Structure 1
Amino acid sequence: MHQTRTVSGYLTLLQVWVYEHFPTLCANCCRLSQVYDEDYPRALRWKPKRDKGLVIPFRKALDEIDVDGICWTPYREHRPKRPFEVVSLFRGWIRWGPKMYAHLPDRVLRQYGHVQTIPGSPLEIVGQTTTPEEMDIMFTQYAVHVVDAGAVVHKPADCAIEYMDCLQ
């Protein structure tokens, strides 16, 4: 939003997520590292440019992007080094120290290589746990809370018909 002046959180991860999923946007804001190896953490793949004048063209490019300009499975070549773990499909609260976050993988199934279906409401997990101890127990029993990923995609933009209907 244009009136926003600050953003909190670990922005490097957000930045890298944008680079991986919207490669057409990267042409003006970053470049691939020449020394990157798939053994390295994925964020080291990118070398951002330090130019503050990119906001307006970046917004314009983002507004004009279509489904073909999105990389739905950006980590495919990285999977042999960092295999997919079923725990990634855990749906519920996760925490880092005193901070707790809702983890909702059913909202981004395409990124996991599955057909996108209608995700559950984020409100379904609110109130499921109230203490850090309850969150820890829920996570240690993550297999009970794993999202049914469903069908594997054949084309990156595959989604269930009812998913597109729910967006309208």
Structure 2
Amino acid sequence: MDDAVQMLVDLLMVSAEAARAETGQCRGPYIRLQWSATNVHVVYLEALRDLSQTGRYAWGVAALVHMYDQLNDASISSSRQLGDYITLLQCWIYKHFPSFTESTADQDYNEDSLRACRWIATKKTGKSIHTPTYKERLDRLQISDVCWIPYGEHRPVRDFHLISCYSDLLRWGPVVVYYRPERVMRQFGYTQTISTLPVDSWVSYDDIHERWIHYSDHMVPADEVCVVSGQCASDYMDWFFLISHPFMTPG
């Protein structure tokens, strides 16, 4: 917290008292946009300290790390909100579950544009659907209702890079999360197999950095390419029903 306050003083040129009041209001090393609305981790400010260096950062990883961190918090039963850059997750849901959610597609969109530009954001539909309805729709989903390769149409514009199969810890500043692509191999076009559970052990920032630099040593083995969309190994579904919670509402 002291480091966050000092960063706000140095980079935003606010008083230490105002910085402490803001981080206290956010209950952590965060600030609110324009001192209001969505909370933003101050580590982003550190990344913008030297604007000449911003083009060298892996911003996609940064967005992913913070979204995963927020999803970890949102999975706690007492959580009531989800912060960070949710557009990435929202667009994935639109494409992955086309029959589940109602969205407005931009008729002028072409695949040369950014993927998020495919849909037009509106608040009307989201407010009209209540949480129990979403849970019921999830429970009724069939295999044919899911788009298992949501980025297939976009591949001619954005190639699939093997670094996407890196499986280990990701870090942005002090925020560290697990990245486990072996759990979603179908969206890469590979047959889904049973994945091993991660081993919780302390890893230094330097170790995480070293693993990322040598990502080829920490890759998920890409086994068989899917013959049909959504293909999985013969023993996968039995295992999935044993370790997961396949239904949102009580039977």
Smaller-chain TM-score bracket: 0.7 to 0.9
Unaligned runs of 5+ in 2: 1-74, 242-251
1:12 aligns with one of 76, 81, 87 = 87
CA deviation after TM superposition for structure 1 residue 4, in Å: 5.0
Q: Over the residues paired in the alignment, what is the CA RMSD in angstroms?
A: 1.9
Residue of structure 1 equivalent to 2:213: 140
C-alpha distance in structure 2 between counterparts of 1:39 and 1:96, whole Å: 29
| Larger mean Cα displacement after TM superposition, 133-142 or 156-165 | 156-165
C-alpha distance in structure 1 between counterparts of 2:193 and 2:121, whole Å: 34
Q: Is 1:65 paired with 2:138?
A: no
Return the index of the structure with the highest Cα Rg. 2
CA deviation after TM superposition for structure 1 residue 10, in Å: 2.2
1:154 aligns with one of 212, 215, 227 = 227
Residue of structure 1 equivalent to 2:123: 50
CA deviation after TM superposition for structure 1 residue 22, in Å: 0.2
- Which is bigger in relative contact order (C-alpha 8 A, separation at least 6)? 1
CA deviation after TM superposition for structure 1 residue 121, in Å: 0.6
CA deviation after TM superposition for structure 1 residue 5, in Å: 2.2
Between the two proteins, the alignment pairs up a number of residues equal to: 163
C-alpha distance in structure 1 between counterparts of 2:138 and 2:106, whole Å: 23
4+ aligned runs moved over 4 Å, structure 1:
1-4
2:150 aligns with one of 74, 78, 87 = 74
Identity fraction in percent: 35
Structure 1 residues 3 and 65: alpha-carbon distance in aligned structure 2, compared to 1, 3 A threshold = farther
Residue of structure 2 equivalent to 1:90: 166
C-alpha distance in structure 2 between counterparts of 1:167 and 1:19, whole Å: 24
Q: Which amino acid aligns with 1:55?
A: H
TM-score normalized by the length of structure 2: 0.60
Q: Which amino acid aligns with 1:165?
A: D
CA distances 1:33-81 after superposition (whole Å, capped 9, x unpaired): 1232212221111113312122254333222211110000011110011
Residue of structure 1 equivalent to 2:35: none
Structure 1 residues 50 and 145: alpha-carbon distance in aligned structure 2, compared to 1, 3 A threshold = same
Residue of structure 1 equivalent to 2:57: none
C-alpha distance in structure 1 between counterparts of 2:176 and 2:78, whole Å: 27
Residue of structure 2 equivalent to 1:163: 236
Q: Which amino acid aligns with 1:130?
A: V
CA deviation after TM superposition for structure 1 residue 6, in Å: 1.2
C-alpha distance in structure 2 between counterparts of 1:33 and 1:132, whole Å: 42
Residue of structure 2 equivalent to 1:24: 99
Partner of 1:25: helix, strand, or coil?
coil
